[in-house]
Each structure stands twice: as C-alpha cells, then as structure tokens.
Amino acid sequence: MDYDDAVEAIHAINPPLIEAFQAWLNAKGMTAKMIQSHLDPLHFFAEYRVYVEPLRPLDQATAHDVDDFLSDGFPRKAAWACVSNTQVYWASFRKFFIRIPSRPLLERP
C-alpha cells in the first residue's frame, strides 16, 4: 500500500470514530462548545498522524504516538500551544482513548 492509499484509508476510518465520540459526548449532556473543545484536538491529532510514520488511524494510535504529539508535534505545529492547552488536549485524548471499544489506549478509571 502506498502513502496515498494509506492516507485515504485513514481518512475513511477516523470520521466514524470521531462521530461516535461526539455522540457519546452529546449523550453525556455536554454543551456544543464543550463538545467542540474535545473534538478539535482529535481532528488536529488525526491530521498530524498522516504526516508521521508509521501512519495509523486514531483507533490504532499508541501511547507513544500521543506522547510524541503532545511533547513535539503540537508545540511545533500550533501557535497556540502552551501548558494549559496541552492539558486540554490531554483531557480530550483521555476521554476519547478510554472509550475506543476495540482497543482502549488507557485504562478505564
């Protein structure tokens, strides 16, 4: 599989995962603004992952992928990156990755 095919496959896999997470956030009664604040980091991370080897969809991301993004990719790519925004991104990732039914990256509390 070449790079373009891999990116196309990832772009097909990620949206349903993010939509399922959005539905879960809606079911929890979160406001639209709060939901968007959780979805924005996932969209940014998903896009970042297609430029970094190995290419992986969100449901196959490892703890190392998240750590690499938060410690290197996010500060380099985002002008708004600061400690408090990194904490917001971490909170969003934590909520998302705990709830991936096929392969949770983090343990449920």
CA dihedral sign of residues 18, 24, 108, 102: negative
CATH of 3-98, one of 1.10.10.60, 2.60.40.10, 1.10.150.130, 3.40.50.1580: 1.10.150.130
Our measurement of the distance from residue 92's CA atom to the centroid of its chain's CA atoms, rounded to an integer in Å, reads 8
Task: Give 22-87 as a DSSP string.
Answer: HHHHHHTT--HHHHHHHHHHHHHHHHHHTTSSSP--GGG--HHHHHHIIIIIHHHH-TT--HHHHH
- Rg of the chain over Cα atoms, rounded to whole angstroms, equals 14
pTM: 0.84
pLDDT, tens only, 53-79? 888 999 889 889 999 999 998 888 888
pLDDT, tens only, 2-15? 889 999 999 999 99
